[in-house]
Structure 1
Amino acid sequence: MTRIYNIFLFAFVLLCSTMVKAHEIRPAYLQIVQQDETHYQILWKVPAMGDMVLKIYPSFEDGFQLQETGLARPVSGAMIHNYTLIGNRQLEGSRIEIVNLNKTMVDVLVNVTYLNGEKISLMLHPDSASTLLPGKSSKWQVAKTYTLLGVEHILLGFDHLLFVLALIIITVGFKKLLKTITAFTLAHSITLSFSALGLASLPGPPVEAVIALSIVFLALEILKLQQGKPTLTSEKPWLVAFVFGLLHGFGFAGALTDIGLPQTEIPLALATFNIGVELGQILFVLAVVAIGYLIKSVIPKKGWIPKVLPYGIGSVAMFWTIERVIGFWG
């Protein structure tokens, strides 16, 4: 039994250390806007972690010349390059490739706006780093692209996952858990939609810091519950999930703003991104519940073992809070 405890604790500590060091790797973003018959404006946003920038870049067929305009500039978690692309023929029907993408685990979202107003959105992956550019993107392509982006965002958004994990721990009973997760989903769907449509907004850095604090709050609520003290979260988890879910929605919106939306298909892209987020969230909840059932029989209800999880969650979240507050002035 002691060996099982040690394995569980080692796995949890390893997970926490990974989450402390890791930041969400968002997709790279390539925006192509046609200016006239031969010129295109290019924005290339490549993910970065600190001073380390992924060595990936777009490449076009012969007949197209790429010229960098201005200096690359850093933004939060990325480096932005601007180019002018000059071609002696139409870009439509030509092949584009992201060089070295197969050496990474990053996807690339490509948005193209042609001179006639047609727009396309597609996704390149490490195992499919090149594609022929179509003249028009189908609704199915937009839906597929943004659903996958939503799934990736939630599964790589460790702060959102940690918040959901804390909700699962503190919520007793399947019906109450279902109600709680539904409330969280409804809340962040509201603010995600409002923010993406420009109806409401909050500055990103403070939102991210308060999201981390919301996880610290839930970790403290779990500890109080383990001590036999009733809390607002344990009695009405759906209410707490809804209130903090509104805040998490602004966090999702920040990611979606960074990625970009196809201007002719904003409602579809927004809806499918949100669907992707929910699919990823459901996968995570099912995985946590399944693992919980597996380890429930070997983890005692009393003693110091149950406290490891809330202390671990709270420590990671507090680290994020301090890091993000310091980032205000970074």
Structure 2
Amino acid sequence: MNRWCAVLWTCLALALCPTAARADELRPAYIEMTEQAPGQWSLLWKASANSRLGHSGEVMIPKNCKIDGESQREFAASNILTRLSLLCDGSVQGQTIGLKGLELSTTDALVRIAPIDAAMQTVRLTPDQPIATLAKPSIISNVAATYTIIGIEHILLGFDHLFFVLALVLLLKGGWLVAKTVTAFTIAHSLTLVGTTLGLLSLPSQPVEAVIALSIVFLAVEVVKSRPGDFRLSERFPWIVAFLFGLLHGFGFAGALAEIGLPEGDVPLALLTFNLGVELGQLAIVAVALAALYGIRQVRIQWLQPTKTALAYGIGSISTYWLIERMVS
């Protein structure tokens, strides 16, 4: 049974590789309106050059605003930046802002509005709700809620980080041991995330992404080779392994957060709540995985190890594909 499960999961993994290879691409569009003087606004909007939004999307500005002059368009890294000057008649509170074309995409858009004489606010546009009404919410609750959700989504949709956490659950025995090891992973990636975001640390993204994939392959191999009474390196020193690899995963989180953008003046709050969201997402993954393994153990304990092995083969196959792709791209 072990062999056939492994073959089945390997085939499924290879079939999913083209889609899964975009594991860490959480790239919502970003729109920022900043009031420079009463009634005079600058607008910046950013979208990935690889997305449809980057080429055909269009910001739907508030109805009491009009474009002043020509738009400026430029490429920066893998993004397309568009800059506009706006003249607005009165306050933008109560007006609407949106992104045309968002309803046809699979991503979201973050909108930051910074008036001179009112609280800054952040709103989130989605394909289902591509238009939002600008109110006067609390800056703290607005930014905190937005970046907490982004953090949760990133760990759930960033499949390489998700696979790393799943591999830890498959390898280690005992919920408390898993919780402590995942906490070490969280502390480590939080350190490099904060350091990179604040400009204190820096590493090239391509080697980092390749080593992140390698870290998942390493854990998958550890799961497959694990035997009762013969503890692998990751089983003997799980916190150290999780911490060291977590430092590298933090650079990956920082890269994704850089693509999203941080609200000026609220970077500490955004970082804190993004990390909180990531931790909540990780705890949800751990809880679901442990519950699933417990259910298998209760139904038929003989299925438990073959299931772990099959999952490890699937995770390892996809991660190997990512490793090769990231090394040659």
TM-aligned CA distance change 1:302 to 1:281, over 3 Å = closer
Separation in 1 of the partners of 2:19 and 2:98? Answer: 32
Mean CA deviation greater in 274-283 or 24-33:
24-33
Separation in 2 of the partners of 1:102 and 1:25? Answer: 17
Partner of 1:42, secondary structure, is strand
Residues 179-198 of structure 1: pairs in structure 2 closer than 5 A = 179-198=180-199
1:245 offset after TM fit, Å?
0.9
Cα deviation digits, residues 120-161 of structure 1 (max 9, x gap)? 222223333322324564211111111111111111111100
1:228 offset after TM fit, Å?
7.3
TM-score (norm 2): 0.84
Partner of 2:27, secondary structure, is coil
Mean CA deviation greater in 245-254 or 259-268:
259-268
**1:314 aligned residue (298, 313, 316):** 316
TM-aligned CA distance change 1:227 to 1:174, over 3 Å = closer
Give the corresponding residue for 1:253.
254
Partner of 2:30, secondary structure, is strand
| Aligned alpha-carbon RMSD (Å) | 3.3
Separation in 1 of the partners of 2:158 and 2:216? Answer: 13
1:16 offset after TM fit, Å?
5.8
Give the corresponding residue for 1:232.
233
Give the corresponding residue for 2:202.
201
Give the corresponding residue for 1:39.
40
Separation in 1 of the partners of 2:228 and 2:70? Answer: 61
Mean CA deviation greater in 170-179 or 116-125:
116-125
Structure with more contact order per residue of length (Cα contacts < 8 Å, sep ≥ 6): 2
Separation in 2 of the partners of 1:205 and 1:137? Answer: 38
Give the corresponding residue for 1:211.
212
Separation in 1 of the partners of 2:308 and 2:277? Answer: 32
Separation in 2 of the partners of 1:106 and 1:11? Answer: 25
1:244 offset after TM fit, Å?
0.7
Partner amino acid, structure 2, of 1:319 = Y
Mean CA deviation greater in 176-185 or 187-196:
187-196
Partner amino acid, structure 1, of 2:322 = W
Cα deviation digits, residues 182-223 of structure 1 (max 9, x gap)? 111121122222222333332322222211111111122223
Separation in 2 of the partners of 1:191 and 1:273? Answer: 14
Mean CA deviation greater in 258-267 or 159-168:
258-267
Separation in 1 of the partners of 2:184 and 2:246? Answer: 8
Mean CA deviation greater in 108-117 or 148-157:
108-117
Separation in 2 of the partners of 1:144 and 1:107? Answer: 15
Give the corresponding residue for 1:109.
110
Separation in 1 of the partners of 2:138 and 2:326? Answer: 38
Say whether 1:24 aligns with 2:21: no
Give the corresponding residue for 1:142.
143
Give the corresponding residue for 2:73.
71
Gaps of 5+ in 2: none
Partner of 1:172, secondary structure, is coil
Separation in 1 of the partners of 2:302 and 2:51? Answer: 39
TM-aligned CA distance change 1:200 to 1:223, over 3 Å = same
Partner of 1:201, secondary structure, is coil
Give the corresponding residue for 2:134.
133
Q: Is the 8 A contact 1:189 1:249 kept in 2?
A: yes
Q: Is the 8 A contact 1:119 1:262 kept in 2?
A: no
TM-aligned CA distance change 1:301 to 1:131, over 3 Å = closer
Percent identity between the two aligned chains: 42
Q: Is the 8 A contact 1:146 1:273 kept in 2?
A: yes
Separation in 1 of the partners of 2:270 and 2:51? Answer: 30
Partner amino acid, structure 2, of 1:202 = L
Gaps of 5+ in 1: none
Partner amino acid, structure 2, of 1:129 = P
1:11 offset after TM fit, Å?
6.7
Separation in 1 of the partners of 2:179 and 2:303? Answer: 25
Partner amino acid, structure 2, of 1:317 = S
Separation in 2 of the partners of 1:139 and 1:71? Answer: 32
1:317 offset after TM fit, Å?
1.2
Partner of 2:111, secondary structure, is strand
1:179 offset after TM fit, Å?
1.6
1:164 offset after TM fit, Å?
0.7
Give the corresponding residue for 2:84.
83
Separation in 1 of the partners of 2:84 and 2:321? Answer: 38
Residues 85-100 of structure 1: pairs in structure 2 closer than 5 A = 85-100=86-101
Q: Is the 8 A contact 1:37 1:90 kept in 2?
A: no
Separation in 1 of the partners of 2:319 and 2:110? Answer: 30
Q: How many correspondences in the alignment?
A: 324
Separation in 2 of the partners of 1:114 and 1:260? Answer: 18
Say whether 1:158 aligns with 2:159: yes
1:229 offset after TM fit, Å?
4.9
Separation in 1 of the partners of 2:186 and 2:120? Answer: 30
Partner of 1:261, secondary structure, is coil
1:59 offset after TM fit, Å?
0.2
Partner of 2:241, secondary structure, is helix
Q: Is the 8 A contact 2:214 2:320 kept in 1?
A: yes
